Each structure stands twice: as structure tokens, then as C-alpha cells.
């Protein structure tokens, strides 16, 4: 793990030596690479699912569970 940390420290130091415009371009590329990651897409799907479920509860499409039903489901 130490080699990885040293590698990251070296990359960070080199990046900080770049001009503002070069750092801006690098930052944009790095952020875009995160936005395309499967982990982020998976997380976004769960956020959307949570919103759908909340909307269903608020609209009455899903009546939800009573407290007794909830604790009985354990």
C-alpha cells in the first residue's frame, strides 16, 4: 500500500506544478472519469429507486406498512 501512496503523492505533486489551465483540464477529465464509473451509476439507480418508492408512498400507490406489520416482517 505504501507504493500506491507514494505514487499518488508523486502524481499530486506533479499535478500541482501544472498551470491553472492544465490543472483545470486534468480536473475535468478526472471528474468525467468518475461520472462514467459503474459504481456511481449503480448508486444513482438506488437513489432513483428510493425516490420512486417515496413518491409511491406519498401518492398512496403504496400504502406502506403499519408498525406491527413492519416489526412482524423481521
Query: Which residues have C-beta within 8 Å of that of residue 53, sequence separation ≥ 6?
Result: 62
Domain match, 32 and 44 both: no
Domain match, 4 and 22 both: yes
In this structure, the chain runs to a length of: 74
Average pLDDT for 15-43? 90
Domain boundaries, position 5: 1-36
Phi-psi region of 42 (alpha: psi -120 to 50; beta: other; left: phi over 0): alpha
Domain match, 56 and 24 both: no
Domain match, 9 and 27 both: yes
Q: How confident is the model at residue 1 (pLDDT cuts 50, 70, 90)?
A: low
Q: How confident is the model at residue 5 (pLDDT cuts 50, 70, 90)?
A: confident
Total domains, the chain: 2
Domain match, 32 and 3 both: yes
Domain match, 51 and 27 both: no
Amino acid at each position: 500500500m505504501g507504493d500506491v501512496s507514494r505514487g499518488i503523492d508523486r502524481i499530486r505533486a506533479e499535478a500541482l506544478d501544472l498551470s491553472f489551465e492544465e490543472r483545470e483540464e486534468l480536473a475535468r477529465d478526472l471528474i468525467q472519469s468518475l461520472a462514467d464509473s459503474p459504481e456511481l451509476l449503480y448508486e444513482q439507480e438506488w437513489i432513483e429507486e428510493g425516490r420512486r418508492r417515496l413518491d409511491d408512498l406519498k401518492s398512496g400507490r403504496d400504502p406502506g406498512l403499519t408498525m406491527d406489520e413492519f416489526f412482524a416482517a423481521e
